[in-house]
Amino acid sequence: MGPLVSTAWLADHLGDPGLRVFDCTLLTRPAPDGADLVSESGRAAWLAGHLPGAAHIDILALSDPEQPFRYALPPPDRFAAAAEALGIGAGVRPVLYCRNHHMWAARVWNTLRHYGFDGAVVLDGGWTKWTAEGRPVETGPVAHPPARFVARPRSGVFVDADAVAAGIGDPGTILVNALSPEQHAGRGGVHYGRPGRIPGSVNVPARALTDPETTAYLPPERLAVLFRAAGVLDADRIVVYCGGGVAASSDALALATIGRDAAVYARSLQEWARDPVRPLVRD
């Protein structure tokens, strides 16, 4: 099984032993100064309506509050405890979805992979496609029974700023910006402190990878065309970044559907753009 499952598949497997559904929605809006994003839990929206049996994952609560960056990866023992309390662990297949876009589900999927758990999948089309098809929804709280999670962090799923810097000018590495074309050019949108892109990076926006009506990912052959046109598939090593490693995780998931691995710069521009030593370029 790949990283995506269809709404039809989930409808047929909702009662399977070990299958547990999670709403990963997080709400964001631009800060008044346009330099950053303001993040809010999606818990209220989840309580108002969710897929049958779906519990809620609060990405903010999964992050390390002691670090100055949003969605910061916590120590392995902290993440393991949070995953166990959510009901994610041995013998469990988590199905992840969002109300607004795949990005948050993709980030949880990628974070689980980082800590050594490969059993999670993302619902293709998420809430938007599920409800458009008239499938059942529920309201109110849901909690899954605890599970046993052993964190085994692996290298290469997320990378740091030094790894990104080492990729600049490296002919075997391609840096991919998952933000909008306007942000990539440094002409508009949230700029995380300084507008622009990491030198040498190409632009494959996360939102270009999905159908605007259903929010489902484009077919693999169309995804391959988009990534190939940007030169991504010619590289030996792919590193994706965005503002905080969320949209980049959606690009990484899309690449996984066509058989390519990609590392995600976890802190992305929220770190890079605020460090005056790190270069940015604009059109």
Asked, colleague to colleague, whether 4-132 and 158-272 share their fold, the answer is yes
Distance, CA of 52 to CA of 142 (rounded, Å) = 9
First to last CA, the chain: 41
Global pTM?
A: 0.96
Tens digit of pLDDT at every position of the chain (283 positions): 799 999 999 999 998 999 999 999 999 888 888 778 888 899 999 999 999 999 999 998 889 989 999 899 999 999 999 999 999 999 999 999 999 889 999 999 999 999 999 999 999 999 999 999 999 999 999 999 999 999 999 999 999 999 999 999 999 999 999 999 999 999 988 899 999 999 999 999 999 999 999 999 999 999 999 999 999 999 999 999 999 999 999 999 999 999 999 999 999 999 999 999 999 999 9
DSSP codes of every residue in 168-222: TT-TTEEEEE-S-HHHHHTSSS--TTS-SB-TT-EE--GGGGB-TTT-PBPPHHH
Distance, CA of 193 to CA of 43 (rounded, Å) = 29
Q: What is the pLDDT of residues 6-22, one digit of tens each?
A: 999 999 999 899 999 99
Between strands 26-30 and 37-41, the pairing is antiparallel
Q: What is the pLDDT of residues 129-157, one digit of tens each?
A: 999 999 999 999 999 999 999 999 999 99
Distance, CA of 56 to CA of 60 (rounded, Å) = 12
Asked if the 158-272 domain carries CATH number 3.40.50.300, the reply is: no
Question: In the chain, where are the structural domains located?
Answer: 4-132, 158-272
Could you tell me the two tokens for 261? 């691995």
Sheet of strand 93-97, all strands in order from the earlier edge strand to the far edge = 4-5, 121-123, 93-97, 19-23, 55-56
Mean pLDDT of the chain: 96
> Which pLDDT does position 131 carry in this prediction?
98
Fold type of domain 4-132: Oxidized Rhodanese; domain 1 (3.40.250)
> Which pLDDT does position 36 carry in this prediction?
81
Q: Give which of 120, 123, 79, 83 is closest to 99, Cα–Cα.
A: 123
Burial class (CB in 10 A: 0-12, 13-18, 19+), 242: buried
> Which pLDDT does position 100 carry in this prediction?
82
Distance, CA of 162 to CA of 183 (rounded, Å) = 22
The backbone torsions φ and ψ at residue 46, rounded to the nearest 5 degrees and listed phi first, read: -65, -45
Whether 192 contacts 273, CB under 8 Å: yes
> Which pLDDT does position 32 carry in this prediction?
83
Burial class (CB in 10 A: 0-12, 13-18, 19+), 65: exposed
Element (H, E) at 264: strand 263-265
Distance, CA of 7 to CA of 129 (rounded, Å) = 7
251 contact partners, CB below 8 Å, separation of at least 6? 176, 178, 204, 206, 209, 240, 262
Distance, CA of 146 to CA of 148 (rounded, Å) = 7
Burial class (CB in 10 A: 0-12, 13-18, 19+), 221: exposed
Element (H, E) at 94: strand 93-97
Distance, CA of 82 to CA of 62 (rounded, Å) = 7
